[in-house]
């Protein structure tokens, strides 16, 4: 055993913008665990990431998300078992495949309307601004029964918070705290109104549910805050990667048009190869050893789900989208596995199904491959310019 740890390449020096494959390989070259110049440990090997994610008693989520600036704990992700287990028992039923299927017709109509607007705009479009950003925000507002006209305000708060919440910054900035407080006030106002004017939306259901004592107002707000911060940009990113991959691969695009039943398999593989979440934070509760590296108690660690998805020791030909389903890390592992995974999968499926119906023929407008926004807590393409043909 040794106290030394390989140095993590500087995040802003990794070539994610133009070469994601090269960037992941650089991270793997540093070893299963490496440390940044700010003392943050990055865990990248698939086996090491999986083991850490399944040990919340050692790699704790409690306090790990403070950099997002939420004035209240993010339910359920900011808690470890047994508190986390109780929260998941209470809320999982609201995000099951059956529950998500109930709102599918409305969400299908919304994505169809957005794509119809793209078609009406002519033979070119920029997909991120026209579809990938607005759609997930509309889904959140619809799910929680909030006004769709608040979409752009919601996007503004979310962007401001995530812009200033850097991956290896240990404390939230004043800008993050201000934007988080404004968003909290907005959500609290609607929750208070909904308590006396309940409907069939998720916010009303959460307020009415008394199983295991129900959730407090603060806990419901923490859940809302989590979905905004963790559930919007991730779907935006996944939509962008999926459309770009299909724009570059006409044969696969035609296959999915002719066999829409293959779309879920394609979604799983695009989530593995280009998962939106590069890493998730944890804090060690005791000294822990990974290989010959000792990580001290109280250390900030980032579990790199993105690197685990590209680990050649786990996946054959890891940098290529395959035709069979992969058991990927895009939704995490262990008890903190993504609460909204069924919703995210449905959103992606609806986007691809409705896009294929309306815009079967398209290609990237520019010779250059779209660039990833980096450094960032979410891997996403900055813009995607397409040329649409009949």
Per-residue model confidence as pLDDT tens digits over 34-52: 999 889 999 999 999 999 9
Neighbours of 116 (CB within 10 A): 12
Task: Identify the H or E element spanning 105.
Answer: helix 104-120
DSSP class of 3: S
3-state secondary structure of 281: strand
- 45 with 305: CB under 8 angstroms? no
Strand spans (E) along the chain: 33-35, 41-43, 59-60, 124-126, 280-284, 288-290, 293-295, 300-303, 362-364, 385-388
Radius of gyration of the chain (CA): 21
Query: How much is the mean pLDDT over the chain?
Result: 92
Averaged pLDDT for residues 8-33? 93
* Residues 6+ positions from 124 with CB-CB distance below 8 Å: 365, 385, 386, 387, 388
* Residues 6+ positions from 81 with CB-CB distance below 8 Å: 56, 57, 335
Q: In angstroms, rounded to a whole number, what is the distance separating the alpha carbons of residues 322 and 300? A: 34
Per-residue model confidence (pLDDT) at position 151: 96
pLDDT tens digits for range 185-239: 999 999 999 988 888 999 999 999 998 889 999 999 999 989 998 899 999 999 9
Task: Identify the H or E element spanning 195.
Answer: helix 174-195
Q: In angstroms, rounded to a whole number, what is the distance separating the alpha carbons of residues 290 and 293? A: 5
Sorting pLDDT into bands at 50, 70 and 90, what band is 295?
very high
Averaged pLDDT for residues 83-111? 95
Per-residue model confidence (pLDDT) at position 170: 53
What is the CATH topology of the domain spanning 11-388? Cytochrome p450 (1.10.630)
Averaged pLDDT for residues 148-159? 92
Per-residue model confidence (pLDDT) at position 324: 85
pLDDT tens digits for range 320-374: 999 987 789 999 999 999 999 999 999 999 999 999 999 999 999 987 789 999 9
Phi first, then psi, for residue 363 (nearest 5°) are -155, 160
- 131 with 118: CB under 8 angstroms? yes
Per-residue model confidence (pLDDT) at position 67: 63
pTM score over 0.85 = yes
* Residues 6+ positions from 149 with CB-CB distance below 8 Å: none
- pLDDT surpasses 80 at 390: no
Per-residue model confidence (pLDDT) at position 167: 47
Averaged pLDDT for residues 89-116? 96
Q: DSSP per residue over 6-57, as a string?
A: PBPPPGGGS-TTT-HHHHHHHHHHT-SEEE-TTS-EEE-SHHHHHHHHT-TT
HSE toward the beta carbon, residue 202, CA cutoff 13 A: 24
Angle between helices 250-258 and 233-247 (to 10 degrees): 110
For residue 191, what are its two tokens?
């929750």
């Amino acid at each position: 055993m040794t106290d030394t740890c390989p140095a993590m390449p500087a995040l802003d020096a990794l070539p994610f913008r133009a070469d994601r494959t090269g960037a992941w390989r650089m991270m793997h070259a540093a070893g299963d665990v490496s440390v940044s110049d700010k003392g943050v440990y990055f865990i990248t090997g698939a086996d090491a990431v999986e083991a850490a994610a399944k040990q919340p008693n050692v790699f704790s989520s409690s306090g790990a998300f403070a950099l997002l600036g939420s004035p209240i704990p993010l339910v359920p992700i900011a808690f470890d078992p047994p508190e986390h287990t109780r929260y998941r028992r209470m809320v999982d039923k609201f995000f099951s495949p059956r529950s998500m299927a109930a709102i599918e017709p409305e969400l299908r109509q919304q994505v169809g309307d957005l794509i119809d607007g793209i078609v009406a705009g002519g033979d070119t479009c920029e997909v991120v601004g026209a579809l990938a950003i607005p759609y997930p925000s509309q889904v959140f507002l619809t799910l929680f029964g909030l006004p769709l006209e608040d979409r752009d305000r919601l996007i503004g708060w979310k962007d401001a918070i995530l812009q200033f919440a850097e991956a290896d910054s240990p404390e939230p900035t004043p800008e993050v705290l201000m934007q988080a407080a404004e968003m909290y006030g907005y959500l609290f106002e609607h929750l208070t109104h909904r308590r006396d004017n309940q409907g069939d939306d998720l916010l009303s259901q959460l307020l009415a549910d008394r199983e295991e004592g129900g959730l407090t107002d603060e806990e419901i707000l923490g859940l809302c805050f989590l979905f905004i911060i963790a559930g919007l940009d991730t779907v935006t990113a996944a939509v962008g990667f999926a459309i770009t991959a299909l724009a570059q691969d006409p044969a696969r695009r035609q296959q999915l048009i002719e066999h829409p039943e293959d779309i879920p398999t394609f979604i799983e593989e695009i989530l593995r190869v280009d998962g939106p979440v590069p890493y998730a934070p944890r804090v060690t509760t005791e000294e822990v050893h990974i290989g010959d590296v000792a990580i001290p108690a109280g250390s900030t660690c980032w579990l790199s789900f993105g690197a685990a998805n590209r680990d050649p020791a786990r996946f054959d030909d890891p940098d290529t989208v395959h035709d069979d389903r992969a058991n990927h890390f895009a939704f995490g592992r262990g008890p903190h596995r993504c609460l909204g995974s069924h919703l995210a999968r449905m959103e992606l499926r609806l986007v691809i199904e409705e896009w294929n119906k309306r815009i079967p023929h398209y290609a990237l407008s520019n010779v250059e491959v779209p660039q990833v926004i980096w450094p960032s807590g979410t891997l996403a393409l900055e813009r995607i310019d397409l040329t649409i043909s009949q």
